[in-house]
Amino acid sequence: MLTFSPYLYQVFGLLTNPEYGFRLVNSYEDARSLRLVFDLISGRSLAGDMASWPPLTELGNALRLAKRLEVWAVYALLAGYIQNKLLFQNWGRQSFDVFRLAGAVGDDKLARFAVDAMQRQSDANLAATSWSEDEVRDGSHLPSMLWCPGTWTPEEFDAIPPAYTYALARATVAAAVPYEDKTKAFGSYALAENFAHFLSVYRSE
């Protein structure tokens, strides 16, 4: 069993010593996220079937709290739980929510994982549509895709860091797509890899 006793002393010190000036002031710092972080600090793990785990929203709140408390072993555990849950229970806009979470905590690895999940989910939706390759390519019947910034709302644009928006936008343009015989203009290509590449380009400027 993992133990994180140094983290336990660190967190208790932050929360109980007024000299540190640490206050729980953010919306994600609630009783559920505190309980989950303390459980993991104490060496417990999420037991049972994945369906019984906390929802992604609660896992995300705990991840943000773990980062603020700088308990990195707990942060790594939570990031792994989030990736596993998204890998096997990806529906609705959960993959985009994880992408937003990655932007909030500045986790490039988690962002890349979410981009890959968004692409896989959108590919499945595309396969169930009646649009032809040409219709999708020229944009005349562009389906709503989570990973395409052109489908985002203004609020979603505001929630994503500029570096991530740039990298995702560049990764999805036709010029970045290696066309092959059965490659779609939007979908079924190395979107996550392109995202990581253009993210490094953005930061090197």
pLDDT tens across 60-69, in order?
999 998 998 8
- Encode pLDDT of 73-103 as tens digits: 889 999 999 999 888 876 667 888 999 999 9
- Encode pLDDT of 105-152 as tens digits: 999 999 999 998 888 776 655 555 555 566 555 554 444 567 778 778
pLDDT for the residue numbered 187:
46
Global pTM reads: 0.76
pLDDT for the residue numbered 188:
45
Which of the four pLDDT bands, split at 50, 70 and 90, describes residue 59?
very high
Closest residue by Cα to residue 160 from 112, 95, 100: 100
Please enumerate in sequence order all residues whose Cβ is within 8 A of that of 39, keeping only pairs 6 or more positions apart, or say none. Answer: none
- Distance CA(26)–CA(42), nearest Å, equals 23
